[in-house]
Chains A and B, each alone.
Chain A
Amino acid sequence: MLPRRAQIDEVTDLIEKSGVGGEVPKTHQLDFKDLMNFRINNILLVSSLYDYYTLVEDGQLTEAIFNEYSELNLHYAPHITRVNSGEAALRLLESQEFDLIISMLRLGDMDLASFCGNLKRQHPELPVVLLSFQSAEFDLYMKTADVSQFDNVFVWSGDRKLFLAIIKLLEDIRNAPVDCLEFGVRTILLVEDSPWFYSSYLPMIYAELIKQVQALIEEGKNFADKLLRQRARPKIFLASSYEEAMTLYRKYGSTLLGIIADMAFPCEGERDDLAGLKFSRTVREEYPELPILIQSSDTDLRLQIEQEGMTFADKNSRMLLQSLGDFMKDNFGFGDFIFRMPDGAEVTRARNLRELREKLRYIPDASLEFHAARDHFSNWLKARTRFELSNKLKPVKVSQFDSMDDLRTYLLKAISDHLIQDQKGVISDFARSEYDPEDTFLRIGAGSLGGKGRGLAFTDNLLRKYLAPDYFPGVRISIPRTIVLGTDVFAQFIEQNDLLPLAVQNISDQEILRAFLHADLPPTVLGDIRAILDKARFPLAVRSSSLLEDAMYQPFAGIYATIMIPNSSPDPSVRFHNLTQAIKYVFASTYFRRAKNYIEATANRIEEERMAVIIQEMVGEKHDRYFYPQISGVARSFNYYPFGKATQKDGVVNLALGLGKTIVDGGTSLQYSPAYPSVYPQFGTTRDLFHNSQLKFYTLDLESDIIRKYPREDQNLVHLDLAAAEEHGTLKYTASTYFGQDDRLYEGVSRSGPRILTFAPILKSEVIPLNQVITLLVNMCETAVNCPVEIEFAVKLGPDNAKPAEFSFLQLRPMVKQEGHLNVNFDDIDEEKILFQSEQTLGNGIKHIRDVVFVKPDSFDAMQTRAMVREINKINNELLSAKRPYLLIGPGRWGSSDPSLGIPVVFSDISGATAIVETSLPNMIIDPSQGSHFFQNLTSFRITYFTLRHYNEAHSIDWEWLNALEAIEETDHLRHVVAADDIEIIVDGQSGHGVVLKSNSIK
């Protein structure tokens, strides 16, 4: 949960200073902590022992109240302290704090007026109520004494619920200015001057109110939401005179749900037998449809009152309380929304907002008009704490619409938008009967959401609170619809299938996968998964979200599986099978070799790992049989290798056409600094254009939704050429065209010629403000997380000049900052001792190693890089087991998925290395891909990374010295040597200068 109010200003400040986009919303999603800030927790009861025992026969008043609160599922109950005299009360108040004083009529030591006077003088804000038994003494007191000093006067009739009513009434009036005027909580005004009457039906009214609200509470998305609904229940005000009623009306009139008024009560100091009617007519001038009930013992008034459109209740009737209850239920928006025709005939009912939406589609025009014209929808929504939607609908008039169809369409859209917005920033528990594929973030099963899941939930919350949907005109920012299986599902799966003993063994990934695929998922989730697939008919990404990923400095990037499934088969059994298999695959990847290696390199144990699974809507569009976004990207707020004028803090962005796999696997993508979106260092020369630009892109094959015996992680992905993108029309805003005659690039694809993915129409011509969006989001996240961050995203461009575009936030990861400054003067180092050095080094500090593994430079063959992976993996595992960190040297981009760019290792293949050297070759000059999972893991494990350029003499390696070291192992492509003494690695993180020093002697 984000910090509240004042504490969130740093993000608001950031956004406002950015000067882009619209206004930051001033209000944020209503939270239960906003409401009912005044609570009565401690009550001082001033009564004789005898009166006290009369109140509660067995003397257990606190317990009695507690029971009342428990029955109503209220989570606290106030405590009552009794003293037997006014003096004792005043004395106690000097040392203890109370929220309410309840005084009985007989104080013994002082008269009530003196007691109350003293009290108010010393504690002016403390509410005091008089509680008495119905007696002649009380009647006399009421006739002769001035009771105005008391906040209220009540009569005890034996109902313990009266205590609840007293407490609630006083809390309500205290909380009203904030809850009602600021947040729109609704109110009910009770006008009654007889303490006997209102003492008997206030408890009923409150109990009825809370009972009605119980149903709304059950609609709560989660516990916090349920608490919100409890606290946002309508407030009740009590007025005992015309003037009091008018004061309350003038202040809270716009929040009223309805009025329950006696007919006769004081007006201008005198009892007015028609005061109730007079007051009601005044109200009706402004609010002609407001429900009003007038009660009177004079039944002759019934006709007149009903003719004026109000409800009459006979005060003498034995069914009076029942009538009040029915009136509240029928008129205050509690219970079902009852659709009626103008003649009152019931058409149908809706239990909740979703049902209201469904029924709205079909109700007759006459019924629609009847309710719309009378603000019934708005009132009902308000009673159900749907304040935003209610306020949106309230000012809308039927006359604004050309037809009932237009009105119906407007209402349906308003409700749908509200339901979507309502879900944002909230993790709701999946409920099959309520499931709507538009729901943003749902959880199935208990346990943690895992690192990725939590990051997504956090981001969703962040977006909801700080960015209005139209903050960037033409660009909608959101997270894709997501359902998370909590880690308990994984735990149950492992336990019920007894998989752990097998999974932790040193066996092949295939064996593990086979065992997991044949195992059964917990029965607690199967029905829910089927229910999801019944309604969700879009491609899905099934992604890992592990518990250990939660830790700030362990990003686990690319360690576990992600499976993308088309979810397109007409056979629901096939779709079900493929989704469940994908989930099991992700579970299995928890124990794959790369995961085990990775975890071994941390302080954790594989048995500790738990896996949540994210089932997420894929972002993109269908093009023939392929599905992909036009843009995917990774943006980092810190750039380890800034170029040109850009600084490290300007960050760096990688963009690609198609699925983001291109970037995270270290393939070729466009890289630029957000501070200079028109500068592309990788396109320095014409040759660079063709050599350094993305030529192929990943898509999901929608026709691959078949059952496979041996599933693979990338089984549904297809790698296409740009020519396919051209056919699909997805190059329009992402590519430029090279015109050989001018040796120039032209934005777009209107000319014929080779296409280069420059994203110039977006970055230079800004058909959509993508760079601004990225910059702001990255900065927002960095501010919120308080450290550099990396975000993954995908963008779907719209049909009308790229609008409306949908920017989907896919992942948020904190970055490990390579901090520090080493106080070393590199100029003082004897050059003879230098094995190699570079001013393009990532890392900081001093390390010592003895083992060096290097790719033999003389026999390096770029066609054999895959074979090199196997050799490196073997040596790495040996050294990892022996706990011997090593230095790894090789050409090209380490970790690139493209074997022609470098050796396509994954992190677990080199996880034992403490430093890696990337050398370039004449035909292999590759910059590190900062957007890749490999790079992310390198930095998080603080693996020192040297970049050596072959054309820079200062970067040369003393191969002769290296080759003279004792060889432990020599393979076709590698050599593993060991020094007799430590080889020292020294890096200054601030300057980026690093040097590796030879050890003292050669074995």
Chain B
Amino acid sequence: MSGESFNPFRMAQQQFDGIAEQLTLDEATRTLLRVPDRELHFNIPIRMDDGSYKVFRGFRIQHNTARGPAKGGVRFHPQETVDTVRALAMWMTWKTALVDLPLGGGKGGVICDPHNLSMREQEALCRGWVRRIIEILGPESDVPAPDVMTSSQHMLWMLDEYEHLVGHRAPGAITGKPIGLGGSLGRTESTGYGVVFAVREALGELGLRIEDTTASVQGFGHVAQHVIDLLTSYGGTVTCVSSWDQKEQAAFCFRKKDGVQLKELRTITNSYGEISRAKAADAGYEVLPGDSWIEQDVEVLIPAALENQINRDTVKQIKDSVKIIAEGANGPTTPPADAVIKERGIWLIPDFLANSGGVTCSYFEQVQSNMNYYWTRDEVISKLDTKMTEAYYAVSQMARRRNIPMRDAAYMIAIARVAEACKLRGWV
């Protein structure tokens, strides 16, 4: 990680301020939108397996609900900070607005390390989390979803606790549920597929054929894996992926110049997305330092892990061959790096467009759950493709027409929609 001191919420506010200026939003609207509407910070005491009690800190932040119920994930992370969660909540507001979903933005978290918790302890955390904020949860108010280090199992525990407390079934209260228990087909791959749909359209606009394209992906979680899957299906080649090694507490890159083999990598990866270095080397992969993904000689870079990965230091390592950066993760690029990327003429697809496939599919899950009728996977993916393509084109058209970066164009569309909703509701 670079030495640059990084506050994601400040970054998110900076981004908002710039756009608000361009949109000439009035003061009241700016004030309303640059901070979350509502924050809940709370303790979750749980009994550990060894009989002791431990108190965990959790939050749920609702940034804005003018366009619909708050939507956002719940993450378990030892380094979670409230500013991170605020930023993520804000980005969710913009994300749902950008893809034109009838939803607002929210995010939640618990400061913990699930690697060090048993399944029973994690279940207790999930149930405790719901109990502490039951008043603001529900299909019509706030709909959580999985996020970093939470899974469909966690969501199901949360849903079960919610339904127990409200006294009836409410499958639309939480998304990310397992298939067969209210989950939507296509959900797992939706974020990764969404990134590729956006990349596909961007390549088309640049006159590049996806079959002739190489890419480097940071991360090997769900998003990254499905990015690789679909990009390869389209005929593209992913030459480098990175993954975190929990034991070493460091990231490593795995490179194969004629293309990584997803099936092969999956066989040497654990449930947290950690690729075994030894087995990868045996399988003919070059094992490189964790930051190497960014300096690959490829046309497309896809950061699909954590925030703050492309910053003023690492941006210098990006090769001239890179034509597109598609932000599969949230906030991977800092504003100083953004400026460099813009100057170099690299086409950047901002996070809340590129990775909005996940929230789109979450929305599909809500719809199906609320109707208690579930679609085929083909139906889900085709609708996802259509939605992502439409969203991409809206942003791209604005960006080209006004000769502004895609991020700015995306923000303008999203913020304008949210601002309008607030005005129409009579809030400002």
Confirm or deny: B50 has a beta carbon within 8 angstroms of a beta carbon on chain A. Answer: no
Residues in A484-515 with C-beta less than 8 Å from chain B: 492, 496
Task: List chain A residues, Cβ under 8 A from B386.
Answer: 527, 530-531
Stretch at the interface among A292-300, A393-401, A518-526: A518-526
The smallest C-beta distance from B331 to any residue of chain A, in angstroms, reads 27
Q: A214 CA to B378 CA in the complex, in Å?
A: 36
In residues 571-624 of chain A, which contact B (Cβ within 8 Å)?
573, 576-577, 580
Given known A431-B204, A524-B233, contact A577–B376 (CB-CB < 8 A): yes
Contact with A along B345-389 (1 / 0, CB 8 A): 000000000000000000000000000000111110111111001
Contact A526 to B207, CB < 8 A, known contacts A446-B235, A577-B376? no
- The residue that A526 contacts in the complex, of B204, B234, B385, B393, with Cβ under 8 A, is B385
CB interface residues, A 655-710, toward B, < 8 Å: none
**A524 contacts B230, CB within 8 Å?**
yes
* Interface contact A527-B376, CB-CB below 8 Å: no
- Is the pair B379, A433 in contact by a Cβ cutoff of 8 Å? no
B393 A433 Cβ-Cβ under 8 A: yes
A527, B233: Cβ atoms closer than 8 Å: no
Q: How far is the CA of A520 from the CA of B381 in the complex (A)?
A: 10
With contact pairs A520-B377, A573-B379, A576-B379 given, residues A527 and B207 touching in the complex (Cβ less than 8 Å): no
* CA gap between A492 and B235 in the complex, in Å: 11
Contacts of B235 in A (CB 8 A): 446
Say yes or no for B129: interface residue by CB 8 A criterion: no
- A526 with B233: CB separation less than 8 A: no
Judge whether B207 and A523 touch: CB under 8 Å.
Answer: no
By beta carbon, the residue of chain A nearest B205 is A218
Let me know if A211 is at the binding interface, CB within 8 A. Answer: no
B164 to chain A, nearest CB (A): 34
Q: Tell me the chain B residues, 194-239 only, with Cβ under 8 Å from chain A.
A: 197, 204, 207, 211, 230, 233-235
- Asked if A751 lies at the interface with its beta carbon under 8 angstroms from chain B, I say no
Say yes or no for B16: interface residue by CB 8 A criterion.
Answer: no
B91 close to A (CB within 8 Å): no
Assembly CA distance A433 to B379 (angstroms): 20
The residues of B that contact A432 with a CB separation of less than 8 Å are 389
Kindly state whether residue A965 has any CB partner on chain B within 8 Å. Answer: no
Provide the bound-state CA to CA distance between A496 and B262, in Å.
13
Separation of A217 and B207 alpha carbons in the complex (Å): 9
What's the minimum C-beta distance from B144 to chain A, rounded to whole angstroms? 27
A840: shortest Cβ distance to chain B, in Å? 52
Please give me the residue from chain A that is nearest to B388 by CB atom: A527
Does A492 contact B382, Cβ atoms closer than 8 Å?
A: no
Whether A530 lies near B230 (C-beta < 8 A) is: no
**A529 close to chain B: CB less than 8 A:** yes
- Counting CB contacts under 8 A, is B94 at the interface? no
Q: Cα distance A573–B385 when bound, in Å?
A: 15
Most buried by A among B207, B381, B383: B381
Complexed CA–CA distance, A218 and B207 (Å): 6
B351 to chain A, nearest CB (A): 21
Tell whether, in the assembled complex, residue A527 and residue B389 are in contact, meaning their CB atoms are under 8 Å apart.
yes
Residues B383 and A530 in contact, CB atoms below 8 Å apart: yes
Residue of A nearest to B377 (CB): A520
The answer to whether A576 and B207 have CB atoms under 8 Å apart is: no
A855 CA / B378 CA spacing, docked (Å):
48
The 8 A CB mask of A526-545 against B (1 = contact, 0 = none) is 11011100000000000000
- Min C-beta distance of B89 to chain A, whole Å: 30
Give every chain B residue within 8 A of A524 (Cβ-Cβ): 230, 233-234
Residues of A in contact with B, size category: 20 to 34
User: Once the chains bind, are B378 and A521 in contact (CB under 8 Å)?
Assistant: yes
Mask, A403-439, CB within 8 Å of B = 1, is: 0000000000000000000000000000111000000
Whether B193 sits at the interface, judged by CB under 8 Å, is yes
- Chain A neighbourhood of B233, CB < 8 A: 492, 496, 522-524
Contact partners of A521 in chain B: CB under 8 A: 378
| CA distance in complex: A521, B378 (Å) | 6
Interface of A is mostly: helix
- Rounded to whole Å, the gap between the CB of A527 and the closest CB of chain B is 3
How far does the Cβ of B388 sit from chain A's closest Cβ, in whole Å? 8
Roughly how many angstroms separate A214 CA and B386 CA in the complex, as a whole number? 28
Interface residues on B, range: 20 to 34
Beta-carbon contacts under 8 Å, B385-401 to A: 385-386, 389, 393
Evaluate whether A214 and B207 lie within 8 angstroms (CB atoms) in the complex, with A527-B386, A530-B385 already known.
yes
Nearest Cβ on chain B to A782's Cβ, whole angstroms: 38
In Å, the complex CA distance between A24 and B213 comes to 45
- Tell me which residues across on chain B come within 8 A of A523, comparing CB atoms: 189, 193, 230, 233, 381, 385
Residues on the A chain within 8 Å of B189, using CB: 523
Nearest opposing residue in chain A for B197, CB measure = A527
List chain B residues, Cβ under 8 A from A520.
Answer: 376-378, 381
Closest Cβ–Cβ distance, residue A209 to chain B (whole Å)? 17
Chain A residue, CB-CB nearest to B387: A527
B179 to chain A, nearest CB (A): 13
Instruction: Tell me which residues across on chain B come within 8 A of A576, comparing CB atoms.
Output: 378-379, 382
Contacts of A492 in B (CB 8 A): 233
A526 to B190, CA, bound (A): 13
Q: Which of A217, A433, A446, A526 is within 8 Å of B381, CB to CB? A: A526
* Closest B residue to A580 using CB positions: B378
Q: Which of A433, A446, A496, A527 contacts B382 (CB 8 A)?
A: A527
Report A519 CB to chain B, min CB distance, Å. 9
B36-68 contacts to A (CB < 8 Å): none
A529–B382 CA distance with the chains assembled, in angstroms:
8
Q: How far is the CB of B394 from chain A (nearest CB, A)?
A: 12
Chain B residues with CB below 8 A from A433, complex form:
393
- Cα separation A433 to B233 with both chains bound (whole Å): 21
CB distance from B195 to the nearest CB of A (A): 12
Min CB gap A960→B, angstroms: 62
Given the contacts A214-B207, A432-B389, A433-B393, A526 and B197 also touching, CB distance less than 8 Å? no
- Which residues, 161 to 189 on B, are CB-close (under 8 Å) to A? 189
Q: Whose C-beta in chain B lies nearest to the C-beta of A584?
A: B378
B204 surroundings in chain A (CB, below 8 A) = 431
B197 contacts which chain A residues (CB < 8 A)?
Answer: 527
Residue of A nearest to B393 (CB): A433
- The 8 A CB mask of A442-458 against B (1 = contact, 0 = none) is 00001000000000000
> Bound complex: CA of A431 vs CA of B230, how far in Å?
18
How far is A527 from B383 in the complex, measured between Cα atoms in Å? Answer: 7
Min CB distance A498 to B, Å, is 11
Question: How near does chain B come to A443, taking the closest CB pair, in angstroms?
Answer: 14
Which residues of B lie under 8 Å from residue A446 when comparing CB positions?
A: 211, 235
Which of B377, B385, B393 has most chain A Cβ within 10 Å?
B385
Are A577 and B379 in contact (CB-based, < 8 A)? yes
* A573 / chain B contacts, CB cutoff of 8 Å: 375, 379
How many whole Å from A251's CB to the nearest CB in chain B? Answer: 35
CA distance A530 to B379 in the complex (A): 9
Q: Which residues of B contact A577 (CB under 8 A)?
A: 376, 378-379
Closest to A523 in B: B381
A533 to chain B, nearest CB (A): 9
Q: How far is the CB of A330 from chain B (nearest CB, A)?
A: 18
Report Cα–Cα, A761/B387, bound state, in Å: 53
Question: Which single residue of chain B is at the shortest CB-CB distance from A573?
Answer: B379
Find the residue from A522, A529, A530, A577 having the highest chain B CB count within 10 A.
A530
A432 to B393 Cα, complex, angstroms: 11
Please report the C-alpha to C-alpha distance between residue A214 and residue B381 in the assembled complex, in whole angstroms: 33
B424 to chain A, nearest CB (A): 29
Task: A214-B207, A523-B189 are known; give 17 further A-B pairs, CB within 8 A.
Answer: A431-B204, A446-B211, A446-B235, A496-B233, A520-B377, A521-B378, A523-B193, A523-B381, A526-B378, A527-B382, A527-B389, A530-B382, A530-B385, A573-B379, A576-B378, A577-B376, A580-B378
The contact sample of 13 A-B pairs, CB cut-off 8 A, is A218-B207, A520-B378, A521-B378, A522-B233, A523-B189, A523-B233, A523-B381, A524-B230, A526-B378, A527-B381, A527-B384, A530-B383, A580-B378
The 5 closest A-B pairs by CB, nearest first: A527-B385, A526-B382, A530-B382, A520-B377, A526-B381
- Chain B positions within 8 Å of A, measured between CB atoms, are 189, 193, 197, 204, 207, 211, 230, 233-235, 375-379, 381-386, 389, 393
